[in-house]
Amino acid sequence: MTRIRLFLCIIAISAPSLAAAQSMKFEEAAAMLAASCGKDIDDNCRGVNLDATRLKECLGRNQDVVSAKCKADYPQAFGAIQQRITARTSLVKLCNWELNHLCGDVRQDPVKGLQCLLDSTKKATPNCNKAISAAGYR
């Protein structure tokens, strides 16, 4: 069980909050996985690298022995994780204008660029503001 807890802590630290308003937060997804699938992961997925894709594949391969609660919950949890990852990767594309016109001097530094976007939300386009929210930065 320690490996699953370590995995969930790593996920929680690396992506502080998960999806848009319609989906669960990252912490909620990690908590759901721990509660619903912790024992199943510990029993059936030992030796699997601690990343979401491999755990999802392992649970899928072992569906015949995975608990009903885990079968019901893990697709939703992994879906929420994937949605947040997708939102974060598309943020730069959706906020390109803002990064060029409002944050030009710090654009190349991801941390300063993100902070500039967060500080410029009143001047940002609606699509950029939605992207910032969907990525969980606000």
- Quick: pLDDT tens for 107-122: 788 889 899 999 987 8
Mean pLDDT of the chain: 81
Burial (Cβ within 10 Å: 0-12, 13-18, ≥19) of residue 65: exposed
Contacts 24+ apart (CB under 8 A), 48-54: 50/3, 50/6, 50/7, 50/10, 51/7, 52/11, 52/78, 52/81, 52/82
- Quick: pLDDT tens for 1-22: 455 544 444 444 444 433 333 4
Q: How far apart are CA 3 and CA 11, in angstroms?
A: 12
Q: Where are the domains of the chain?
A: 2-87, 95-134
In 9-137, at which residue ranges do the beta strands (DSSP E only) sit?
none
pLDDT in the model for residue 4 = 52
Residue 68 has pLDDT above 90, yes or no: yes
> pTM for the full model?
0.65
Q: Say if CB 20 and CB 134 are below 8 A apart.
A: yes
Choose between 45 and 52: higher pLDDT: 45
Q: Name which of 27, 40, 18, 31 is nearest 86 in CA terms.
A: 18
Q: How far apart are CA 136 and CA 138, in angstroms?
A: 5
Per-residue pLDDT band at 71 (split at 50, 70, 90): very high
Choose between 8 and 67: higher pLDDT: 67
Per-residue pLDDT band at 134 (split at 50, 70, 90): confident
